């Protein structure tokens, strides 16, 4: 299809949702979630972990790095430092060498050692389970805290906004915002709270399989009739 044809189809698709009320948008979101669960019934975090501590470490490492690469690094890291106490006592040079391939390894090492020390000093070696306490740890922002709370503690405190969530939320017309913080607020108003943790997993799976950057495969998308951007 020519570029002109794609623009025409995109405009026609977008008109279907002009004037959509918030109640109607919420209903559309619920249908989006239902369809994505049918399509990706095993959608969950790709980061391998067996405890809140391991997920917190893996999430810190995942910044600007693929989950696949993180999963290649963490077995050695967790064998060497199985607890926050062990990591807090680790040598910077040793940690850097293990995580080097994840990129930004010096800053990540600083974050990991600082986080571990704070968990030991402030929380008796147990990763805390509240947003307030998590974001006070070195190297832990709201996105990382949301990942840990939702996936390790089963607490829906917010919506993780990564590149897939940002892209797909925009294409679906669920937000016009561009910053993760504002996108999260828009999604929290539309998405049922029970799905705050699951939605990012579904969008990530869909983003990798169909709604890709820069060009989505709209002809294979189960959400095409629900998407204002369908017809790229």
CA torsion sign, 97 to 63 to 66 to 129? positive
Q: How far apart are CA 95 and CA 31, in angstroms?
A: 45
> How many other C-beta atoms lie within 10 A of the C-beta of residue 76?
12
Residue 230 in tokens: 């369908």
> Looking at residue 19, what is its pLDDT?
82
Mean pLDDT of the chain: 94
* Same fold across 3-44+158-226 and 52-126: no
Catalytic residue numbers, as ranges: 143, 162
What mean pLDDT comes out for the span 123-149? 98
Q: How far apart are CA 229 and CA 10, in angstroms?
A: 5
Q: Which fold has domain 3-44+158-226?
A: Endonuclease Iii, domain 2 (1.10.1670)
CA dihedral 45, 50, 52, 54 (to 10 degrees): -90
The domains of the chain are located at 3-44+158-226, 52-126
| The model scores a pTM over 0.85 | yes
Residue 21 in this model has a pLDDT that exceeds 70? yes
CATH superfamily assigned to domain 52-126: Hypothetical protein; domain 2 (1.10.340.30)
More confident residue, 232 or 103: 103
């Amino acid at each position: 299809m020519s570029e002109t044809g794609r623009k025409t189809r995109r405009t026609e698709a977008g008109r279907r949702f002009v004037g959509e009320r918030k109640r109607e948008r919420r209903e559309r979101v619920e249908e989006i979630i239902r369809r994505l669960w049918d399509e990706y019934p095993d959608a969950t975090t790709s980061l391998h972990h067996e405890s809140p501590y391991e997920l917190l470490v893996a999430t810190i490492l995942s910044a600007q790095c693929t989950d696949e690469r993180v999963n290649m690094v963490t077995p050695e890291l967790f064998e060497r430092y199985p607890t926050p106490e062990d990591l807090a006592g680790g040598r910077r040079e040793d940690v850097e060498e293990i995580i080097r391939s994840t990129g930004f390894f010096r800053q990540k090492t600083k974050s990991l050692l600082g986080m571990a020390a704070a968990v030991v000093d402030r929380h008796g070696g147990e990763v805390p389970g509240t947003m307030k306490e998590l974001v006070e740890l070195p190297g832990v922002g709201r996105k990382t805290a949301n990942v840990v709370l939702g996936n390790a503690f089963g607490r829906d405190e917010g919506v993780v906004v990564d590149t897939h969530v940002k892209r797909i939320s925009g294409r679906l017309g669920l937000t016009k915002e561009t910053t993760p913080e504002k996108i999260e607020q828009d999604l929290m108003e539309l998405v049922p709270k029970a799905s705050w943790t699951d939605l990012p997993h579904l969008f990530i799976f869909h983003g990798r399989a169909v709604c890709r950057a820069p060009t989505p495969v709209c002809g294979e998308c189960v959400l095409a009739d629900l998407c204002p951007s369908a017809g790229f």
